[in-house]
Amino acid sequence: MIIDIKCKGFDVKLDDWRKSKKLSYAKLAKLVGQNEATVARRWCMPPGHPNQLIPRKGKNMDRIIEVTQGSVMPNDFYLEDR
């Protein structure tokens, strides 16, 4: 399932990807190998949000890149839309 969307010329954020696939946070968590929907929800928060979590380098980040087929990349968790 490949989707190629861009938001206002910027890279796709995980929450944009999740919504485009009509996934709940729980389903997203399962896809990336997490047990808790809360983890996925916090990954989907915008950069700079006080409750945002950034997936760890390695297993978590690699799995997100794999599941989203490269639509979501590590820099998407750091860059804010302008």
pLDDT tens string 33-46: 999 999 999 999 98
State the pLDDT at residue 78.
86
Task: Check: CB of residue 16 under 8 Å from CB of residue 7.
Answer: yes
Q: Which residues of 22-52 are buried (b: 16+ CB within 10 A; e: fewer)?
A: eeebeebbebbebeeeebbbbbbbeeeeeee
More confident residue, 79 or 35: 35
> Is the residue at 4 inside a domain?
no
Select from 25, 50, 27, 18 the least CA-distant residue to 39: 25
> Is the residue at 82 inside a domain?
no
- How many distinct structural domains can be found in the chain? 1
Give the residue carrying structure tokens 């980040």.
61
Instruction: Look at the pTM and tell me if it is higher than 0.95.
Output: no
Q: Is 4 a residue whose pLDDT tops 50? A: no
Count of other CB atoms within 10 angstroms of residue 9 = 7
Confidence band of 81 (pLDDT split at 50, 70, 90): low
Enclosing domain of residue 37 = 14-77
State mean pLDDT over 4-23: 73
> Is the residue at 58 inside a domain?
yes
